[in-house]
């Protein structure tokens, strides 16, 4: 790490990815600063995963808990992607279980953002999508979701999320 580089927390990394994804439409070249961030913190199928990216995200397996509004829950399983030359797949299989309280709705989701070559040697977002599964008035949801897309991809960022709702509110558990 050079003296000028700051080590970011996982929350700071995901906030920056969200900021970048909102800032640019598809197939628009990122600024040098944003492109450098993506190169540093996203997974590259060509170069492997950078140390910073490994530190910024959980491993492929996750087991996370959370709570709020008089309810607590745990989500555990796997989030994955397979990046090839042009055709790619991604997904998650995981369960969300309410440990205390009663849920009126559970929504499990997996989100992928893919970045590739745009413009004259730049990096831009070439694909993003969220898949979701839900149920109502149950305290357990198992989801097995997958999707595919075609693009020339250099880097990806992905995460799974569970939103649990009861009569008092909603809370979110995420793999980031």
d(CA 31, CA 23): 10
Question: How many angstroms separate the CA atoms of 62 and 79, rounded?
Answer: 8
Q: pLDDT > 70: what percent of the chain?
A: 87
Q: Are 169 and 69 in contact (CB under 8 A)?
A: yes
Question: What's the mean pLDDT when you consider all of the chain?
Answer: 85
Measure CA of the first residue to CA of the last residue in the chain; give whole Å.
23
- Phi, psi for residue 114 in degrees, rounded to 5: -120, 140
Better pLDDT: 10 or 78 = 78
If you classify domain 10-174 with CATH, what class do you get? mainly beta
Q: Count other Cβ atoms within 10 Å, centred on residue 157.
A: 26
Instruction: Report in angstroms the alpha-carbon separations of 111 from 9, 18, 87, 158, 174.
Output: 20, 12, 17, 5, 11
Domain locations along the chain: 10-174
pLDDT at 149 over 60: yes
Q: What is the pLDDT of residues 38-86, one digit of tens each?
A: 888 876 554 445 544 443 333 478 999 999 888 999 999 999 888 888 8
Contacts of 100 (CB under 8 A, 6+ apart): 67, 71, 72
Can you give the pTM of this predicted structure?
A: 0.76
| 90, 78 contact by CB (below 8 A) | no
């Amino acid at each position: 790490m050079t003296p000028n580089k700051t080590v970011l927390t996982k929350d700071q990394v995901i906030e920056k990815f969200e900021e970048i994804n909102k800032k640019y439409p598809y197939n628009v070249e990122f600024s040098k600063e944003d492109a450098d961030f993506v190169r540093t913190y996203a997974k590259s199928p060509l170069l492997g995963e950078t140390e910073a990216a490994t530190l910024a995200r959980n491993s492929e397996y996750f087991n996370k808990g959370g709570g709020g509004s008089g309810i607590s829950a745990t989500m555990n399983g796997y989030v994955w992607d397979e990046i090839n030359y042009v055709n790619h797949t991604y997904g998650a299989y995981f369960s969300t279980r309410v440990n205390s309280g009663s849920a009126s709705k559970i929504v499990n989701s997996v989100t992928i953002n893919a970045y590739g070559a745009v413009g004259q040697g730049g990096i831009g977002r070439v694909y993003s999508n969220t898949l979701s599964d839900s149920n109502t008035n149950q305290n357990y949801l198992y989801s097995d979701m997958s999707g595919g897309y075609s693009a020339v991809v250099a880097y990806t960022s992905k995460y799974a999320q569970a939103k649990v709702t009861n009569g008092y509110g909603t809370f979110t558990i995420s793999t980031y």
